[in-house]
Structure 1
Amino acid sequence: MSIDTQQSISGFIATQPRLTTTENGVARFHARVGIEHSRQEPDGSFTQLDPSFHDLAIFRKTAEEAAARFQKGDKFVATGRVHEYSYDKDGQTVPAEEFIASRIGHDLARTRYDVDRSPRRSSTERQAAVQEEASFESSPRQQSSVASRASI
């Protein structure tokens, strides 16, 4: 059995990401991304070239998660596919392309972070936990017992 491969890109988020919804109500993450380029010189050194800039789109739940975790300047690695399309501008048809990511993450080689390996909660479980936490913090009885424990 062969290894299933996809296209991938690595780069940096060049603009502040936007989370919108399509006309069908599907979440859509969009950002301009930069891809860095370099050239190897005859002596073995590398010369940094100007980055190229492209559109990145992500849909559905991954779009929502990306919007919560990525900001301008973040380094990333994404897998997906190139989507070629065209649009009309001033009466001319203009060819364009965007990278549609199915998966995206911070680039381990260029980003420091901590990993949370606890199981993900559903949105209703998260809401219930937030409400429970809020009611716990606002309870006068709980506040007085916390204060009395602090003074011991």
Structure 2
Amino acid sequence: MSIETEQAVAGFIATVPTLTRTEDGAARFYTRIGIEHSRQEPDGSWTKLEPTFHDMTAFRRAAEEGFTRFRKGDKFVATGRVHEYTRQKDGEQAEEFIVSRFGHDVARTQYVVHRAPRQSAPEQNAPSRSAGFETQARAPQAARAPQMGM
């Protein structure tokens, strides 16, 4: 089975996001985004170029959550698709990125994750962990030594 893929974009929220409703009542998130660009020079160095700006839209739950979580200036990563259309006001061709999923860019954002407590699974007739297995306490992630296998 092949991996399903979507288009992706990474950038920053360039304008204050808005939340409106479509004709059928679905939530609609809209903002302008900036995408940073750079060019590699012949000597191997990089030159930062001017960002480009684009429309980004999300619908339904993604719209509501995005409006709650994103502010102007936030760095994000989003998956979705480019939608090309003709603007009604001037008849010009335009495009927008329609989001299916998005979140803060973990490489450029510091944040805290609040996880809901795990719900206990219903009782099942499976062997207990101690049935024939020895368990070992796990060291904290940072304290573990790197492991190599051959």
**Matched residue SS, 1:110:** coil
Aligned to 1:97: 95
**Matched residue SS, 1:62:** helix
Aligned to 1:6: 6
In structure 2, stretches of 5+ residues that fail to align are 119-150
Residues 92-131 of structure 1 mapped to structure 2, 5 A cutoff: 93-118=91-116
Report the RMSD for the aligned CA atoms in angstroms. Answer: 1.3
Matched, 1:21 2:10: no
Could you tell me how far 1:119 is from its partner in structure 2? 5.3
Deviation string, structure 1 residues 38-93 (Cα, Å, up to 9, x no partner): 00011111100000000000000110000000000000000000000002445xx2
Matched, 1:38 2:25: no
- Following the alignment from structure 1 to structure 2, what is the Cα–Cα distance between the partners of residues 119 and 96? 44
Aligned to 2:82: 82
**Matched residue SS, 1:55:** strand
- Following the alignment from structure 2 to structure 1, what is the Cα–Cα distance between the partners of residues 12 and 87? 26
For residue 56 of structure 2, what is the amino acid of its counterpart? Answer: L
- Following the alignment from structure 1 to structure 2, what is the Cα–Cα distance between the partners of residues 11 and 96? 19
Q: More helix by proportion, 1 or 2? A: 1
Could you tell me how far 1:11 is from its partner in structure 2? 0.2
- Alignment: residue pair count: 118
- Following the alignment from structure 1 to structure 2, what is the Cα–Cα distance between the partners of residues 75 and 10? 8
Deviation string, structure 1 residues 89-130 (Cα, Å, up to 9, x no partner): 45xx2000000000000001100001111159xxxxxxxxxx
- Following the alignment from structure 1 to structure 2, what is the Cα–Cα distance between the partners of residues 72 and 3? 33
For residue 45 of structure 1, what is the amino acid of its counterpart? Answer: S
Aligned to 1:56: 56
For residue 83 of structure 2, what is the amino acid of its counterpart? Answer: H
- Following the alignment from structure 1 to structure 2, what is the Cα–Cα distance between the partners of residues 64 and 119? 23
